[in-house]
Amino acid sequence: MTLIHESKSSNSYRSVNRLHLVSCIGVDHELNLLPHFLRHYLGLGIERHLMHFILQSNDSESSNLERAKDFLQDYEIDPRQLWRDRYTSASMWERRRSLQAQYVPDGDWVLNADVDELHAYPATPRCIVEFCVRREILAVQGVMIDRLSKNSKLVSVNDEESIDKQFPICADVMCSVAGKGQFHDQRGTVKLMLHSGSVFPGIGGHCTHSEIDDSKFLIGQPLANHPDICDPGFRFVFPFQVHHFKWTSTLGLRLKRRLATPGITNAGLEYDSKILNLVNGSGVIEIPEGAIMQRKEHRNEDWRRTVTRYRHQRRWIKQICALKLKSRSLLKKIFPYRLSAWLGI
C-alpha cells in the first residue's frame, strides 16, 4: 500500500511503499521477550511478511532456536537466518545491514528494534514516514526510556500479563545512573528507530552507519548532539521514545556473556561493567530523584510542531555560527594581527 502518491507538481515527493521490521533475537536469554515484541510491532501495523528476523544462539544445538522458529511460524513468519555461533555486536549489525540490503528497497522504510526495545511513536509509523518524506528526512531517532519492575528489582518476564504492567516504572538509568565514561557517552542513550531503506544503522543502532547531512535527521541534527539530551526532563517529554525492557532477571547472565566475548568494544566493556557492578549488589536499581518519569510529564504539544521547532532552532544556530565565523574573518582582515589577538578575534 502506498503512503504518498508522487505529486505531478513536485519532484520532491517520493512514493513510500512499505514498512519493514529488522531485528536479531538472541534466544539464549531473551526468548521470553519475543511474544511481547511480536505483538507490539504487529500492533504498529507491520505486516508479517515484512518482518525480517535473525535468530541467534551461541549454542549450535540450542533447542531455543527451534522453539523461537516454531513460535514465529505460528504467526506465519519465517526467520530469515538462524545464526548458530558466538554473538558479537559488530557481527550482528553487519548481518542486519546485509538483511536490509537484501529485502528492503531504497524507497521503503525500516523500523530497527532489538527484542527488548518497544518503540513509542506520537502517531502511526506511516503518518511519521509521510511527514519525513515531505521534508526529505531520512532518519528518526528516539531517546531510550528504561523500564523497571514496580519495586525496581530484576524480575522474570511472563507471557500472561502485559509487559507494560510487569515493568510500570519509566526511568532514566542510562544517563542518570551510568553517566558518561572514557569510552561511552550520551550517543549510546539514543536509538535509530525509523529510517529510509537507503540508510543503514551503525554499530549499536544508535545512529546511521555512514554520515548523512544534519538536515536529514528528524530534529535537524543527530539527537545525541542536542544540548539537553542528558536531562531526564527533556528525555521524558521527547515525543519519540524507545522503551527498553533490559532490566530483567537474565540481565546478569547476559552482561557476563557479553563481557567475555572477544571483540567487545571499549564502550561496551566500560558500560556493561558499570551495569554489572550495579546489579551484582542488592539486585535493586537505585534511581536518583528526578530520574523517574511521571505520567503527567507527557507533553501535549503536537509532535509536528515540536519537531519543526527543533529543526528551526538548529537552523538558526547554524546561521548564527556561520555569521560569527564570517564576522571574525572580516575583522581579522581589517585589524592587524596583534590587535586581533588582543581583541580575541
Mean pLDDT of 287-316: 82
Percent of the chain predicted with pLDDT > 70: 85
What is the mean predicted confidence (pLDDT) over 135-140?
97
What is d(CA 286, CA 289) in angstroms, rounded to the nearest whole number? 10
Element (H, E) at 249: none
Distance of CA 183 to CAs 9, 146, 174, 265, Å? 49, 21, 14, 9
pTM over 0.75: yes
Gap between the Cα atoms of 93 and 44, Å rounded? 23
Helix (H, G, I), strand (E, B) or coil at 225: helix
Measured distance CA(198)–CA(139) in Å, rounded: 10
Task: Using the predicted structure, report yes or no on whether residue 132 has a pLDDT greater than 50.
Answer: yes
Calculate mean pLDDT across residues 114-119: 98
Q: State yes or no: pLDDT of 12 exceeds 60.
A: no
pLDDT tens-digit map of 199-209: 999 999 999 99
Q: Which of 135, 225, 132 is nearest to 185 (CA)?
A: 225
Return the pLDDT at 290: 85
Q: Is the pLDDT of residue 28 over 90?
A: yes
pLDDT at 223 > cutoff 80: yes
Question: CB-based burial of residue 271 (10 Å sphere; 0-12 exposed, 13-18 middle, 19+ buried)?
Answer: buried
pLDDT at 273: 86
Please answer whether residues 22 and 104 qualify as being in contact, where contact means their C-beta atoms are separated by less than 8 angstroms: yes
Q: Which residue has the cell 566500560?
A: 270
State the pLDDT confidence band at 294, using cuts at 50, 70 and 90.
confident
Query: Per this entry, what is the length of the chain?
Result: 345
Q: What is the rounded average pLDDT of the residues 249-261?
A: 87
Query: Are the beta carbons of 100 and 197 closer than 8 angstroms?
Result: yes
Question: If you count DSSP H runs as helices and E runs as strands, how many of each does the chain have, helices first?
Answer: 11, 9
Q: Is the pLDDT of residue 2 over 60?
A: no
- DSSP assignments along 265-334, one per residue: -HHHHHHHHHHHHHHTSSSB----TT-B--GGGS--S-HHHHHHHHHHHHHHHHHHHHHHHHHHHHHHHH
Q: What is the mean pLDDT of residues 11-36?
A: 83
**pLDDT greater than 80 at residue 326:** no
pLDDT digits (tens, 9 = 90+) for 143-152: 999 999 999 9
CB distance 170 to 237 below 8 Å: no
Q: Give the Cα separation of 44 and 190 in Å (integer).
A: 20
Task: Please indicate whether residue 310 or residue 269 has the higher confidence score (pLDDT).
Answer: 310
Partnered with residue 153 across adjacent β-strands are 284
Pairing of strands 139-148, 169-171: antiparallel
Is residue 5 scored above 60 in pLDDT? no
- Would the pLDDT of 277 be above 90? no
77 near 180, Cβ under 8 Å? no
Look up residue 184 and give its three cell numbers: 561511552
